[in-house]
Structure 1
Amino acid sequence: MTWTPSRALRRLTVATALATYLLVVMGGVVRVSGSGLGCGDRDQWPLCHGGLLPPLERTALIEFTHRWVAAIATGLVIALAVVVWTRYRNVRWLRNGATAIVVLFIAQIVLGAITVEFNLPSGVIMIHLANALLLLGALVWIAVTTATAGSARARPSLGTVRLAGVAVAATYVLALSGALVVDQGAGAACAGWPLCGNGFQFSAGRFADINLLHRVVAAIVVLLLGYSMVKMRRARPGDRALRLATLSVTLLIVAQVAAGALLVDQHLPAAVRGIHLALASALWACVVVSAVIARGVTSTEVAGGTRLDRSLAARVAAS
């Protein structure tokens, strides 16, 4: 008995991934704009300054929007888990993936509560973002795998598949190095770009070292991503989805580098910091998309697990 995901399930997975992306971005906007208490202290939740609607103030509107995005994302994650556990519980990878997403989401809520309760303690911001990216990556993986289930894409070479995995890991490390800069308050430690000082001097001091470390990691990861995207695209030149995904990664890399330089040049304005975070999250998601597609969807999901159907197995063996 083969498994074919319904159109409703595919749409639900995509909607949940998009809502989670917006939640990650809005969380960053709240942080960089100083809007964490835009609706008053935590005792007023779910009200905003004592009312059901926020006042027409920037911080209140930002925080209130963040709350609504969080509510929508929570509802979608719950809906996805319920649908999978009730209708697709025999599809092992999907059931396990939905369970992992629920665990990550609960952890995200707990970390968010700790962040508010203890007024942004050092280390928690970084862990909070690290968990958020894992959650987003898991949802993107499920969305892409579900959308491409049953397609006849053949796997590329083992080396290319491994390179895709390295690209995902490297992008995650890059995001964590950026989170470390935010966590330590080292964003303004290097006044120049691409290095510190006047732009061509090395760092001086611990905070500048952290900032420069992020830039060195970024340079290495950019080169690695450029190489890996070319290799994946060449592995299946006729795959339109993979071509679009790798092109998106390339464009996001360029945009992210430009945003990073502008961030330094403009002395860390909140708007550019928000854009920088949004681009970083989008880059992470697109790298995951590229890696999932590059691995090839060569199997048909069946009740109790995954196996190759005969016709597709023959294609893989012949390739």
Structure 2
Amino acid sequence: MIFLTTNQLKWLSYLTCLIMFLAVLGGAVVTKTGSGLECGNEWPLCHGKLIPAYTIGSMIEYTHRLFSGLAGLFSLASMFAFWRYARTRRDLLGYAFMTLLFVIVQGGMGALAVIKSQSAAVMALHMGFSLIAFSSAMMLALGTKRWHEAREYDHKLEAQKKPVSKAFRNLTCFTAIYSYIVVYMGAFVSHTDSQGGCSGWPLCNGEWVPELSGGVGVVFMHRIAALILFMLTALLGHLAFWKHKDYPELRALGVAAVLLCLMQVFSGAAVVYTLDNERLYIFAALAHILLIASLFGVLCYMSVRVWQLNRASSVVSGKNVTNPMIPPPW
């Protein structure tokens, strides 16, 4: 009988996260190079063949399909492994389930996009679902790593620390949800080919507030939303680092979120300034997508950890003792 240890589950979660990362990267390359229909309107075959003809576009599209398929297999394996060997860890089981669910959803939407043309709004939603799948895999990897390294006395000490405030918990959750909206707006910019709507950065066509019409309005609204996201993330990072010194994990997540958001801002500027240089533009655009994907994953995991820490403090203080058999939220 095969039995997986926590260390083996940890490495399985790492591999799942890596494959999901490559699938998201492949999807971004397909979008930015316009390779989505290089295999025609056929799926899963490419021009009627299992192995496509050697063209750059078809290889890009088919490689993305390959990694998407691998992401589905690894997410299924993770779901089964955590259900079989970590059933009491409902948080990890939840991450594994979300990864599998959204891999299936985004894979189905990708197949539909090949078979039948979709609107820009639907294609942006496809990117959003891919992001949720990747962030779920990231949370699974981070959560399993913490589970593997945890010790029993650490749980007790952590639960006795100063409780995380409800206001901070709400701010963390709101920032994570809002970041998803910003991602959707960015994907909408890409799928409507509005990248060139605003020339220059931080000004838009030499103006602080340009005429909000067509592609200019789409890009400008995305910039305003990104600015608000940076301010929210900066506030969140400040509170995590200076107001929660008892929780090194929250401090590290807060710093990571601020750094990722800051790099995201500069990568957005790089996208604007490389629009006329195809070779540099593709790298700037890919960095822009991967940074926001990582930021969203960090914010989601931080939201879950804040909720868990808040619940742990409630259990210790006697606010939630109705069922002592419920396992701790660690």
Matched, 1:84 2:100: no
Q: CA deviation at 1:169?
A: 1.3
**Which residue of structure 2 lines up, in the alignment, with residue 65 of structure 1?**
63
2:294 partner letter = A
In structure 2, relative to structure 1, the CA distance for the partners of 1:106 and 1:222 (3 Å cut) is same
Q: Distance in 1 between matches of 2:53 and 2:326?
A: 49
Q: CA deviation at 1:69?
A: 1.9
Q: CA deviation at 1:176?
A: 1.4
1:177 partner letter = M
Determine which of 248, 254, 259 is the counterpart of 1:246.
Answer: 254
Q: CA deviation at 1:190?
A: 1.5
In structure 2, relative to structure 1, the CA distance for the partners of 1:93 and 1:279 (3 Å cut) is closer
> How large is the Cα RMSD of the aligned pairs?
3.1
In structure 2, relative to structure 1, the CA distance for the partners of 1:18 and 1:199 (3 Å cut) is farther
Q: Distance in 2 between matches of 1:92 and 1:261?
A: 41
In structure 2, relative to structure 1, the CA distance for the partners of 1:111 and 1:53 (3 Å cut) is closer
**Which residue of structure 2 lines up, in the alignment, with residue 237 of structure 1?**
245
Determine which of 164, 173, 180 is the counterpart of 1:165.
Answer: 173
Determine which of 257, 267, 274 is the counterpart of 2:275.
Answer: 267
Within a 5 Å distance, the mapping from 1:6-25 to structure 2 comes to 6-25=6-25
Q: Distance in 1 between matches of 2:94 and 2:304?
A: 17
In structure 2, relative to structure 1, the CA distance for the partners of 1:231 and 1:90 (3 Å cut) is closer
Q: TM-score, normalised by structure 2?
A: 0.79
**Which residue of structure 1 lines up, in the alignment, with residue 217 of structure 2?**
209
Q: Distance in 1 between matches of 2:110 and 2:77?
A: 21
Return the structure number with greater relative CO, CA threshold 8 A, min gap 6.
1
Q: Distance in 1 between matches of 2:112 and 2:65?
A: 16
In structure 2, relative to structure 1, the CA distance for the partners of 1:200 and 1:306 (3 Å cut) is same
Instruction: Report the identity percentage.
Output: 22
**Which residue of structure 2 lines up, in the alignment, with residue 307 of structure 1?**
327
Q: TM-score, normalised by structure 1?
A: 0.82
**Secondary structure of 2:197's aligned partner:** coil
**Which residue of structure 2 lines up, in the alignment, with residue 286 of structure 1?**
298
Within a 5 Å distance, the mapping from 1:7-46 to structure 2 comes to 7-38=7-38, 40-43=39-42, 45-46=44-45
**Which residue of structure 2 lines up, in the alignment, with residue 192 of structure 1?**
200
Q: CA deviation at 1:133?
A: 1.9
Choose 196-205 or 69-78, whichever is displaced more: 196-205
| 8 A Cα contact 2:86 2:93, kept in partner | yes
**Which residue of structure 2 lines up, in the alignment, with residue 316 of structure 1?**
none
Gaps of at least 5 residues in structure 2 are: 316-323
In structure 2, relative to structure 1, the CA distance for the partners of 1:51 and 1:113 (3 Å cut) is closer
**Secondary structure of 1:307's aligned partner:** coil
Determine which of 114, 119, 122 is the counterpart of 2:120.
Answer: 122
In structure 2, relative to structure 1, the CA distance for the partners of 1:48 and 1:275 (3 Å cut) is farther
2:125 partner letter = I
Q: CA deviation at 1:238?
A: 5.2
**Secondary structure of 1:123's aligned partner:** helix
Q: CA deviation at 1:94?
A: 4.1
Q: CA deviation at 1:34?
A: 1.3
Q: Distance in 1 between matches of 2:94 and 2:260?
A: 31
1:165 partner letter = C
How many residues get paired?
302
In structure 2, relative to structure 1, the CA distance for the partners of 1:95 and 1:287 (3 Å cut) is closer
| 8 A Cα contact 1:168 1:291, kept in partner | yes
Q: CA deviation at 1:104?
A: 1.9
1:222 partner letter = F
